[in-house]
Chains A and B, each alone.
Chain A
Amino acid sequence: AEEDFSWFDLTEIELLRVKCLPHTLDVLRASSLYTPFHIQLSHKTQRARAHRRFIELLPPESRNVEDSLRVRVSTEQILTLPELKANPFRERICRVFSTAPERDSLSFEDFLDLFSVFSDAATPEIKSHYAFRIFDFDDDGTLNKEDLKCLVNCLTGDGQDTQLTSSEMKQLIENILEESDIDRDGTINLSEFQHVISRSPDFTSSFKIVL
């Protein structure tokens, strides 16, 4: 019976919106409705491979096992990886997975999280959850028109002549909201986003980075 609600996942953001007593919050956190979305890479070789790539980014003096698990790598270093260098969403990815207070560096656990979410081992719900967070440019828990505009600009290109005209952009955003905004509040929340994603079969194969 628990599988019936696998799509019904409360995220941290929504959880914090449910204003209730702290012990209720713990109950919710302990429930199967809430998943921490932290996945262990089940395959040892993948973890070892991730560790190897992480160590390459460290300065030479801290390239041993204990330091690598403690030290944080700055975002600029992470962005030199060939898998991420040309990705239009690279900064958002680093921001989303970073657990540092200023969101500008990644520890090895964050790094592992990153590549496990983008690996084959992650289920579509997890991938769509993180995709939502990556596309949420202002980190407010919903995709509003500004977020969608930034998203489209990321997809089409950054230059002046590679962007859509403002009328095209307006039309496009209206069409997207028309198709995906179910409760007609002008923004797309996580459930609506996951609903749209669930209908496309190639999302899982395109939301993938192989180390």
Chain B
Amino acid sequence: MWGNLNSPKTGENLPTKKHQKNPQKLKPPSPSPVFSPLPSIFASPCLCSPLPRKLQAGRPARPASGIRGSEGPLRLGRAWARLAGAPKILVPWRTTLTRIGGQYGAGTESYFTLLRFLLGLNILGALFQGALTLLPLLLLGPIPGPPSQGVHQPCGPYDPLPQGLVDYPTLLINLLSGEGHLEWSPLFYGFYPAQLSGGTFRLPVAYLLSTFVSGLLCLLLILHRSVSGLKQTLLSESGALTSYSHRIFSAWDFGLRGAGPVELRRRALRYELQVELEEASERKRAEARTRAQWAGLWATRILLNLLVLAMLGAAFYGIYWAVDPNKVLQTPVLRLLVAYLPSIFISAANLLLPPVFGLITGLEGYPRSRQLQLLLLRTVFLRLASLVVLLASLWNEITCGGKPEAEACATCGYNSAERPCWETRVGQEMYKLLLFDLLTALAIPLLVQFPRKLLGTVCCGRLGRLLGTMEFQVPEEVLGLVYGQTLVWIGAFYCPLLAGLNAIKFLIIFYLKRFSLFFFCSPASRTFRASAANFFFPLVLLLGLAISAVPVLYGIFVIPPSKLCGPFRGQVTIWAAVPHAIQGLPRTARDFLFFLGTLSFAVPLMLVSSVLMVYTLTLASSYGRQVSKLKGHIKMESKSKVLLAQRIVALSGEERDL
């Protein structure tokens, strides 16, 4: 029926075509203008050269409707693709990630790619900061000795190093809370001197520069990642494509091999269909609600929101209270506990509250996708706001509640009695949070997942299955990553080696999560929209970056630097080091840089940027209008196709009756 490879069928048919003149029979009884091409085609014997459709023997295959492309461009395209794919080999863990994606779904894979991306960011930041601050210190300058003890210093005695011999428990506590020997070490801000020997390398300027440049680099890389992901996602997820017909007819990937990926895809498809159908029926139910039911529903929602706010408030109050330094306790364990109290409160809030939120959103009567969005929003708020509360508490302590005339802050501009070196204190707090986060990540597989798995195998029946099945919760894990990264961005200015520590921590977490994924977790039943992974998570990362910029910039521009420690001692503000350094430059450079700060540069820049922005917006809106016009065209095309198809059906129906 379909002919051979070297089909001589065309030859057979041509003679018949020549002496056929029949098709009057097929003429429709009442031709209308739309259908006039049709009879003519049936009428003419030489039916617009069948050659492109049929392949004659001996003829090279022309690019026609059946064949696409010819040999030359195909080979070139393949060579180019191979070349473009070469850098991808250098990226680590590629096979692991594809394996994870195949077995556990695209959402889990996106978590691990995000982790790898953040690891790269941290390594880059650590290298940058190390090269600009630590390396010059080690190569050039004098290693600063401990601050002079005993002498009466104007802004309170600063004595970080412990006196005499230190016993083992205290050493351990010092290691874990960044005090003692660790406090006066390159790990923290306080160690770095104001001047290096030689006088040519300005450490303060380099310190500031490294922070700004690594922040900018992070911003650019995250934007690049989110924009490229967004482009891909916007194309593939327009509304018309998520109809039922599309899912059933064209969504099955015939290239899937192996029982595992096939099973995974089937589960995902089933889940998607069930969610869609459930939402549709939910919407129908919502439309059928009476006024009394609506009133009851809204009352429930308001009550539950108040409950959520109350829980958040309680958590934040706890965190705020935990930062209070006025607790002097004797036993080392209690001291450690008190030192880690803010971390414990934050981690407890982040572990306990999201499941409660999950239960609450279930009661609010929203459709399922809306529920997930609300849950994510609340969890993001919890994570980032707990950090903000911690920082607010620290700020309160350091600047005496923002009142420079308060008695503790009057002499030095900051609370020198309790915090002679406040930058190191902030750095220590971030260091402790980082360590505790790592500890929590280590403890969860051991204390939660492993017993659950054990119980799952021991208990039989439904309870056992409920306990034993654990799935990798992608949103919560990603928010944990964002939280960890925000910590580092806040703390990197006050603790220069924090990025390096974070890189090591992320490396440990990668292998840990991979291990717990393969050992404990079952494949995901919930699908993950690509838009979430490509758009929402980088957005939250950017939000974290924005939030972390606030305390750093506030510390640089507003709070006076500590007079006894750090590279900025003796200056009015930390930023004052920069104009001071610019003064030392040659005249043209100095004038240019000062010009950049004046109004006569800022105003034209703003004008030009606004003009560009308006232009881009108008361009975007005109593209949008073009897109909707083209969509209208497609609809018209499909209408004419439909009419012709109906005509064919009618025609064949008439022919049957003939």
**If the complex has contacts A27-B16, A123-B65, are A206 and B255 also in contact, measured as CB distance less than 8 A?**
yes
Is A38 part of the binding interface, using a Cβ–Cβ cutoff of 8 Å?
A: yes
**How close is A119's CB to chain B, nearest CB, in angstroms?**
10
- Classify chain B's interface size: 35 or more
- What are the residues of chain B within 8 A of A120 when measuring CB–CB? 68
Is A48 part of the binding interface, using a Cβ–Cβ cutoff of 8 Å?
A: no
Q: Return the contact of B277 from the options A8, A171, A202 (Cβ within 8 A).
A: A171
The answer for the CA separation of A42 and B5 in the assembled complex, in Å, is: 11
Per-residue interface assignment for chain B, residues 226 to 265, with 1 indicating a CB less than 8 Å from any chain A CB and 0 otherwise: 0000000001100011011110111111111111011100
Question: Quick check: A182 and B645 within 8 Å, CB to CB?
Answer: yes
Residue in A closest to B243 when the chains form the complex, CB atoms: A179
The A163-188 residues at the B interface (CB cut-off 8 A) are: 164, 168, 171-172, 175-176, 179-180, 182-183
**How close is B570's CB to chain A, nearest CB, in angstroms?**
64
Question: Quick check: A39 and B67 within 8 Å, CB to CB?
Answer: yes
The B617-652 residues at the A interface (CB cut-off 8 A) are: 634, 638, 641-642, 644-646, 648-649, 651-652
The B38-56 residues at the A interface (CB cut-off 8 A) are: 41-42, 45, 47-50, 52-55
Question: Quick check: B252 and A155 within 8 Å, CB to CB?
Answer: yes
Residue in A closest to B650 when the chains form the complex, CB atoms: A183
Question: Quick check: A152 and B25 within 8 Å, CB to CB?
Answer: no
Question: Quick check: B67 and A40 within 8 Å, CB to CB?
Answer: yes
Question: Quick check: B645 and A38 within 8 Å, CB to CB?
Answer: no
Is A31 part of the binding interface, using a Cβ–Cβ cutoff of 8 Å?
A: yes
Question: Quick check: A31 and B41 within 8 Å, CB to CB?
Answer: yes
Question: Quick check: B23 and A24 within 8 Å, CB to CB?
Answer: yes
Is B614 part of the binding interface, using a Cβ–Cβ cutoff of 8 Å?
A: no
- What are the residues of chain A within 8 A of B244 when measuring CB–CB? 172, 175-176, 179
Is A32 part of the binding interface, using a Cβ–Cβ cutoff of 8 Å?
A: yes
Is A118 part of the binding interface, using a Cβ–Cβ cutoff of 8 Å?
A: yes
Is A91 part of the binding interface, using a Cβ–Cβ cutoff of 8 Å?
A: no
**How close is A20's CB to chain B, nearest CB, in angstroms?**
6
Q: Return the contact of A162 from the options B49, B255, B266 (Cβ within 8 A).
A: B266
Is B403 part of the binding interface, using a Cβ–Cβ cutoff of 8 Å?
A: no
Is B396 part of the binding interface, using a Cβ–Cβ cutoff of 8 Å?
A: no
**If the complex has contacts A42-B70, A123-B65, A206-B251, are A168 and B277 also in contact, measured as CB distance less than 8 A?**
yes
The A80-95 residues at the B interface (CB cut-off 8 A) are: 82-83, 85-89
- What are the residues of chain A within 8 A of B50 when measuring CB–CB? 30-32
**How close is A208's CB to chain B, nearest CB, in angstroms?**
5
- What are the residues of chain B within 8 A of A71 when measuring CB–CB? none
**If the complex has contacts A171-B277, A195-B645, are A156 and B266 also in contact, measured as CB distance less than 8 A?**
yes
Among B173-181, B215-223, B268-276, which stretch is in contact with chain A?
Answer: B268-276
Question: Quick check: B262 and A87 within 8 Å, CB to CB?
Answer: yes
**If the complex has contacts A14-B652, A42-B71, A208-B254, are A156 and B270 also in contact, measured as CB distance less than 8 A?**
yes
Question: Quick check: A24 and B66 within 8 Å, CB to CB?
Answer: no
Q: How many residues of A contact B (CB 8 A)?
A: 85
**How close is B275's CB to chain A, nearest CB, in angstroms?**
11
**How close is A183's CB to chain B, nearest CB, in angstroms?**
6
Q: Return the contact of A17 from the options B47, B255, B656 (Cβ within 8 A).
A: B656
The answer for the CA separation of A18 and B647 in the assembled complex, in Å, is: 13
Q: Return the contact of A86 from the options B3, B259, B651 (Cβ within 8 A).
A: B259
Question: Quick check: A148 and B248 within 8 Å, CB to CB?
Answer: yes
Question: Quick check: A195 and B67 within 8 Å, CB to CB?
Answer: no
The answer for the CA separation of A209 and B67 in the assembled complex, in Å, is: 17
- What are the residues of chain A within 8 A of B457 when measuring CB–CB? none
- What are the residues of chain B within 8 A of A109 when measuring CB–CB? 4-5
Per-residue interface assignment for chain A, residues 10 to 23, with 1 indicating a CB less than 8 Å from any chain B CB and 0 otherwise: 00101001111101
**How close is A126's CB to chain B, nearest CB, in angstroms?**
7
- What are the residues of chain B within 8 A of A7 when measuring CB–CB? 641
Is A65 part of the binding interface, using a Cβ–Cβ cutoff of 8 Å?
A: no
**If the complex has contacts A88-B262, A99-B2, are A31 and B16 also in contact, measured as CB distance less than 8 A?**
no
**If the complex has contacts A40-B5, A86-B256, are A162 and B250 also in contact, measured as CB distance less than 8 A?**
no
A-side interface residues toward B, CB under 8 Å? 1-3, 5-8, 12, 14, 17-21, 23-24, 26-27, 29-33, 35-40, 42-43, 82-83, 85-89, 99, 109, 112-113, 118, 120-123, 125-126, 131, 135, 148, 151-152, 155-157, 162, 164, 168, 171-172, 175-176, 179-180, 182-183, 189, 191-193, 195-197, 199-203, 206-210
- Nearest first, the 3 A-B pairs at minimum CB distance are A203-B250, A191-B645, A30-B13
Q: Can you list 22 pairs linking A and B with CB atoms under 8 Å apart?
A: A14-B648, A14-B652, A24-B22, A26-B13, A26-B16, A27-B16, A27-B20, A31-B41, A32-B48, A32-B53, A36-B1, A36-B9, A38-B3, A38-B7, A131-B249, A152-B248, A157-B267, A162-B267, A172-B248, A193-B249, A196-B246, A202-B251
